[in-house]
Amino acid sequence: MTAPLSFSWAAIARLGLVQTALGSVVVLMTSTLNRVMVVELALPAMVPGGLVALHYAVQVLRPRWGYGSDVGGRRTPWIVGGMAALTLGGFLAAVATAVMETHPAAGLALAVFAFLGVGMGAGAAGTSLLVLLATGVDARRRGAAATLVWIMMIAGFAITAPLAGHFLDPFSGLRLVAVSGTVSLIAFCLATLALRGIEPARAAPSPEERAERKPFLQVLARVWAEPASRRFTVFLFVAMLAYSAQELILEPFAGLVFAMTPGGTTKLSGLQHGGVLAGMLLVAGTTMGIGGPVLGSLKAWTVLGCLGSALALVAIAAGGLVGPEFPLRAAVFALGLFNGIFAVAAIGSMMGLAGAGGEAERGTRMGVWGAAQGVAFGAGGFLGTVAVDVARLITPQVVHAYAAVFTAEALLFVVGAGLALRVAYAPPSRIRAPSTHRSFLPEPRLSAR
């Protein structure tokens, strides 16, 4: 047995650097390569869209990656292996994009393989990283730790995108491959160095321990049989579906209904992201600095984030009917604020709940939630655009179509808040070691998480 981990802020920041490295590779897949395929190569938008959807679809394998780290007892090898697959996939995706210019079929085939690698690598690394954080972060620090790690992932987006754009001009396929290869190499080295020595070595399992290991499907069934785990999975899926459904429709709505210019809608999106950051910092500062049974409860913040997001979406829907005098910017900032509150509180709650019901299934449990989150996020953006198109077929007025979709998203957030209230767990010290198939949790309580 190894001593329980207790990460310092320096260790948490080092794990955040892994998220920075992960984000720096992913942003090239979702933004730079997307633009190159559509603009420079004149491919249909559905090509990069389908590849990105493939990256999200493969997130269903996250429970298997989490189970693998449970069996091995250490998370670092899975994070390093996942980063290797992610960075190699990112590099091959750039190669595939360059190949598409002269050999479209071969390039597309390689791109499918590359994006599968990106999805599997991100899933393996991201799942085990969250499990490692959940293992070593004190309950009172979880909201702040989730905020720090999320912000560092966004930093990976913010740093890589402009730098890569600078070195891509003048554009050529060879330059794209060189830039992507450099980003992938730096990202892998950064993640590997950040992880060095952060998780202690573990003795090899004894024959008795190996004999006691359960098959993956049996462990997965056990995790799903836990009421709290199952409810949290459904909550994550519903809430993340609502969270992501407005991603691709908010800017078109502002342009069509409020006659905003492309520059204006881009600034509006930036304002929303600023609200997200403010919401995250609010939860981190309040749970760490004030605490208490309410202000320190990540469950309370999760419910507040869902209900506040629902109200902001209803306000935006009504604002389209009001007209140009409606304060759209304030409503969008509020949406971002409550989205940020929900997101970081949900991640912190996920970290706290991961060890409930048994430490041996921590990775599998986190993988189930990661799969629900990833699939919902990928589906939400697509379904949001489909819902708008369908609504526009039903009603001749654009504003009514968008209002209907925003209202539907608000209802999803309300449902998510109700589901979050039903998720209850106790501090890990009060959880009994798993000895039966089902794990019924103690008195409903969520404190300082």
Domain boundaries, the chain: 7-199, 213-427+437-449
| Residue 392 confidence (pLDDT) | 87
Q: Are 138 and 6 in contact (CB under 8 A)?
A: yes
| Residue 438 confidence (pLDDT) | 30
| Residue 247 confidence (pLDDT) | 79
Four-point Cα dihedral 432, 438, 441, 442, nearest 10: -60
7-199 has which fold? Growth Hormone; Chain: A; (1.20.1250)
**For residue 71, how many other CB atoms are within 10 A of its CB?**
17
Which 3-state string (H, E, C) describes 166-181? HHHCCCCHHHHHHHHH
pTM listed for this prediction: 0.78
| Residue 144 confidence (pLDDT) | 81
Q: pLDDT by residue for the chain (449 residues), tens digit each?
A: 444 567 888 999 999 999 999 989 988 887 788 888 887 888 887 788 788 888 888 989 999 988 888 887 788 999 999 999 999 999 999 999 999 999 999 999 999 999 999 999 999 999 999 888 888 887 777 778 888 888 888 888 778 878 888 888 888 889 999 999 999 999 999 999 999 988 877 655 555 556 567 888 888 888 888 888 888 999 999 999 999 888 778 888 888 889 888 778 878 878 888 888 889 888 888 877 554 444 457 888 999 999 999 999 999 999 989 988 899 999 999 999 999 999 888 888 888 787 665 666 888 888 998 899 888 988 887 888 888 888 988 988 889 999 999 999 999 999 999 999 887 644 433 333 333 333 322 333 333 33
301: left (phi over 0), alpha (psi -120 to 50) or beta: alpha
* DSSP symbol at 290: T
CATH code for residues 213-427+437-449: 1.20.1250.20
Outline where 290-397 has alpha helix (H). 298-322, 328-353, 362-394
Across 296-320, b (16+ Cβ under 10 Å) vs e yields bbbbbbbbbbbbbbbbbbbbbbebb
| Residue 147 confidence (pLDDT) | 81
- Specify the length of the chain in residues: 449
Instruction: Tell me if domain 7-199 and domain 213-427+437-449 are identical in fold.
Output: yes
| Residue 341 confidence (pLDDT) | 93
Cα–Cα separations (whole angstroms), residue 347 to 78, 134, 343, 353, 431:
20, 10, 6, 10, 20
Outline where 169-215 has alpha helix (H). 173-195, 207-212
Q: Are 317 and 410 in contact (CB under 8 A)?
A: yes
Give the separation between CA 78 and CA 81, rounded to whole angstroms: 5
